[in-house]
Structure 1
Amino acid sequence: MPPYSLRWGIIATGSISSEFARDLLVDPATRGVSDISHNISAVGSRSVASAQKFINSLSSASPSEGWKWGVENGKLEGIRACGSYKEVYDDPNVDVIYVSTPPSAHHQNVRDALLAGKHVLCEKPFTFDLEELDELIAIAKDKNLFLMEAVWTRFHPLAAEVAKVINSGKLGKPQRFSADFSMDWKPDNEPASHRMLDPALGGGSLLDMGPYPSVWAMLLVQQNPHNRDQDPQVLFSHQTLYERTQIDLNSRWLVQWKDLCQGLLLSDLSAFGQREATAVLQCEEGDLLSHYPPYKAETFSIIPRPDRFAGSITQKTTHHHPIAQGNNGLSYEADEVARCLRDGKIESEKMPWAESRIVQGWFDVVRKQGPTPLANVKGTAGQ
């Protein structure tokens, strides 16, 4: 049986779109995949010239680059350069749209794609607020279209191995959780117009970096077999204001899983993250530590508790599960989209809408309690 082939349309031509497109062109066999394949049918930008430049950069892959395989095997055949996003939405040769515009534009871009009858994979954060997300989910349900947030970490080899440990029960009941995505980014060295620093683009650490500590909260606590709380709440939060552009330099929020544990989540543009403890789940029998970086972790450790409070785990073990060679790591989420569409699903079981809603709700609480101009901004739902 030939592999299921999915035809992608890409809107926006920034660095994330470039990495995603390249991963679509990598030979699926390099990551042990034989049941699906990917083609790129159209690229949309603000001008045809910009879209064509993006396509040219893909076509000019050198023999040593992983996506050269797709170029040589017709995965760009017939690709169109479009001077508007609407042209991509309306292209009959496009099955699914990849949205990687700034967060402030996600709602409108995804809505337009869905209303045009296209399935959608949208970069995180899914939307600006929960009302926007709920509107998109309602449209996807009404039109029977697939919709998923592109939290690539969920689909990496390490995530599957961590899930096995969590579900084995060997760690026991969770007692405490923490997760952190921090970068010593030096914002003073960047122009105020940079997407990370511009409030109008949803800039700041919370919306751009917050999805990563949140994904570990989902993987280690929300999906933990001991958890019964499907609506974990933010107990308190704090944001530090970056005075020059009024975005949040860092954000911290404490979440309560009722009758289970609490978790402290952190995003920060002003300091580096810890190498071996970017996400930590402390349990009755021992601890699980995921190593840096939180967005593309390839190593985790299981460690004993301190001697005074010893559990059943007595030796430290370290587990390495790398991204397949030649893949940047975005290929795995694209494979999930293809399998869901092949099987007639409109929602991924690995990246469900309910968990996107939980995380979006946390962001709303932190943002509205904070000192930035975004605290009083409403999204574009209903407009």
Structure 2
Amino acid sequence: MNFAILCAGNIAGKMAKTVSRMNEVTPYAIAARELSRARNMAGQYGFQKAYGSYEELLNDENVDLVYIASPHSHHYEHAKLCLEHGKHVLCEKPLTVNQKQAEDLFSLAESKQLFLSEAMWTRFMPFADKLRETLDSRVIGEPLTLTVSFGQNLRHIERVVNPELAGGVLLDMGIYPLTFASMFFGDDIAQIQSSCVKTNRGVDSQDSVTLTFKNGRMAVLNFTFLCPYENRAVIYGEKGRIVLDQFYMAQSIQVYLNGETEPEIISLPHDFTGYEYEVRAAVKAIDSGKRACEEIPHQETLRLLGLMDQLRAEWGIHYPFE
């Protein structure tokens, strides 16, 4: 399967590096608005073709699967362009800025019988199945509380602070804690309480979201682009707790039982960079004639986008192009 990358920014480089080491796909083409950038990345990672426009890439009949690595403000436009050219699409998170855009894309993909998936890499990581297995074993008893902290100083990055680019910490970073809570505590939410701090440009810079579930569980999520946090998730139960450092791409699970100071460590190292798992899942789905990866059904993408739409509405955050 010939793999192509649309856009040649930082995350595109990480994916290009990953794909260059994989056997499941052929590193075929990279496109950027500046041909020199596409050529540099293609040359560095062994891609066969470089294009100076996205349209040129999509007119190449040998392209099978396109990974979209542009800013999320442009995901809808670029995914739609790919689908209209008959290409399967793996698109960086969030798939779109809002739920309505995603509904339109899924409808288009279905009408053209094409694969379309959100590349939320956390859902595809090896730790995900192992953590579910560990929670189901009740080694820490009944899981009751989940906390996630996720913070980085990104205030200097224009796409994060600019409302014209769908800026704000919720879409850029908050989607990770919300996804983590959804993966391990489910979607049966009874109540949502939240607050945010907005910048003078009208985007959210730090947010706190508490999800209370109908079974009595609670998830407390904090995220910011103003300063570094621990970037850690903890799940607490009656008999102990489970800790995941760098929770969004964790390579180990630490299990602490009550009264113990040293954890049992379950090591789950990545094969390459961590991006390989979403690519493998996409290839598997396409080969099976499916429209989505089983790890992230379309309905789950829509549900999380709807939740973020709801939060933004409560906070009074509306992007100029919406």
Shift of 1:330: 0.8
Distance 1:115 1:219, change over 3 A: same
8 Å contact 1:129–1:378 — kept in the other structure? no
TM-score (norm 1): 0.78
Shift of 1:241: 1.6
Question: For 1:1-383, what aligned pairs fall within 5 Å after superposition?
Answer: 6-28=1-23, 37-58=24-45, 71=46, 76=47, 79-183=48-152, 185=153, 187=155, 190=156, 194-222=158-186, 230=187, 232=189, 235-243=192-200, 245-274=201-230, 278-291=232-245, 293-305=246-258, 316-324=263-271, 327-371=272-316, 374-375=317-318, 377=320, 379=322
For 1:359 and 1:232, the matched residues in 2 are separated by 12
Shift of 1:93: 0.5
Shift of 1:57: 2.8
8 Å contact 1:23–1:331 — kept in the other structure? yes
For 1:342 and 1:156, the matched residues in 2 are separated by 20
8 Å contact 2:3–2:27 — kept in the other structure? yes
Shift of 1:106: 0.6
- Kindly report structure 1 stretches of 4+ aligned residues shifted beyond 4 Å: none
8 Å contact 1:45–1:51 — kept in the other structure? yes
TM-score (norm 2): 0.91
Shift of 1:246: 3.3
For 1:255 and 1:345, the matched residues in 2 are separated by 32
Shift of 1:101: 0.8
Say which one has the larger Rg.
Answer: 1
Q: Structure 2: any 5+ residue segments left out of the alignment?
A: none
For 2:191 and 2:95, the matched residues in 1 are separated by 19
- What residue identity is the alignment partner of 1:195? R
For 2:85 and 2:52, the matched residues in 1 are separated by 17
Question: What per-residue deviation string (whole Å, max 9, x for no partner) do you get for residues 80-122 of structure 1?
Answer: 2222212222221011111111111111111121122111101
For 2:318 and 2:119, the matched residues in 1 are separated by 25
Aligned length: 322
Distance 1:146 1:304, change over 3 A: same
Q: Secondary structure at the match of 2:181?
A: helix
Distance 1:231 1:110, change over 3 A: farther
- What residue identity is the alignment partner of 2:50? A
For 1:331 and 1:266, the matched residues in 2 are separated by 28
For 1:87 and 1:255, the matched residues in 2 are separated by 45
1:63 counterpart residue number? none
8 Å contact 1:234–1:253 — kept in the other structure? no
- What residue identity is the alignment partner of 1:209? M
